Amino acid sequence: MWLQLDEFVVVGSPLMNEVIPVQKLSGEKLKNLSSFSVADAIRYFSGVQIKDYGGIGGLKTVNVRSMGTHHVGVFYDGIQLGNAQNGQIDLGKFSLENIEEISLYNGQKSNIFQPGKDFGSSATIYLRTRIPSFDNNKQYNLKGSVKTGSFDLVNPSFLYEYKINDNISASVNGEYIISSGKYKYRYKRVFPNTNEVMYDTTAVRENGDIASLRFEG
């Protein structure tokens, strides 16, 4: 007795295994972090050293496994970032408001198709921006937030997403950062020979203010 089967189709997706060790932060995990910028979020990765040159507007660089900042490639939506002035990428300039995922590779991605620049770094950081999503036939999304902190820090931001059709959407994201940067510290001087106190006072830090405006679309 013979049993003949009709034609059938098997549907599946290829199994992608990461050969290179990778660390990722995305979705709700990234939102729940009390981080101000991409540099603050990368602190949660292992094997990473953050160099913070002070303040909100100060330069913040990263090196992996003590290889140095110049050996770390930073890619923003697949485009490698560069700095012609000193060759170092300031990760403190990138806000988390429009970032969907941060990935750190001890090498390069395991994808077959990638540009040759990916292979020129000992470690790579990939930043992927948010893709607009609309629920319940909504035409737009609007989100606003205000963050505050020490030294008179105020950081309002907004995100607007508009659905043009089922395949095309647009988004605008902006934020404003302002801070006086003033804080009190103890300033004490003594004579080197007698250890007698010259003066002991409380001073206020000056010239640490910042006002920054950022727009992305």
216's tokens? 């992305």
pLDDT band at 16 (very low <50, low <70, confident <90, very high): low
End-to-end CA distance of the chain: 66
Question: How buried is 198 (Cβ within 10 angstroms: 0-12 exposed, 13-18 middle, 19+ buried)?
Answer: exposed
Mean pLDDT to the nearest integer, 98-119 = 79
Residue type (1 letter), 172: V
Compute the residue count for the chain: 217
Q: Give residue 96's identity as a one-letter amino acid code.
A: L
- Once rounded to an integer, what is the mean pLDDT over residues 63-89? 79
Whether pLDDT at 64 is above 80 = yes
Kindly state the tokens that stand for 14: 């290829």
Helices and strands (DSSP H and E) totals, the chain: 2, 13
**Residue recorded with tokens 């110049």:** 70
CA geometry: angle at 67 spanning 64 and 68, to 5°? 90
Domain-ending residue, one of 103, 129, 155 = 129
Residue 202 lies in a domain: yes
Tens digit of each residue's pLDDT (9 = 90 or more) over 146-159: 888 878 888 888 88
Instruction: Give percent of the chain with pLDDT exceeding 90.
Output: 0
Count of domains forming the chain: 2
- The band of 214, judged by pLDDT with boundaries at 50, 70 and 90, is confident
Q: Which of 108, 129, 150 is the last residue of a domain?
A: 129
Distance, CA of 134 to CA of 140 (rounded, Å): 7
Sign, CA dihedral 42-46-48-51, equals positive
- pLDDT of 55: 66
In this predicted structure, what is the pLDDT of residue 52? 78
Q: Are 56 and 181 in contact (CB under 8 A)?
A: yes
Residue 119: φ, ψ to 5°: -90, 0
- CATH number, domain of 95, equals 2.170.130.10
How many CB atoms sit inside 10 A of residue 47's CB?
A: 13
Whether pLDDT at 111 is above 80: no
User: Residue 154's domain spans which residues?
Assistant: 134-217
Answer yes or no: do 47 and 119 share one domain.
yes
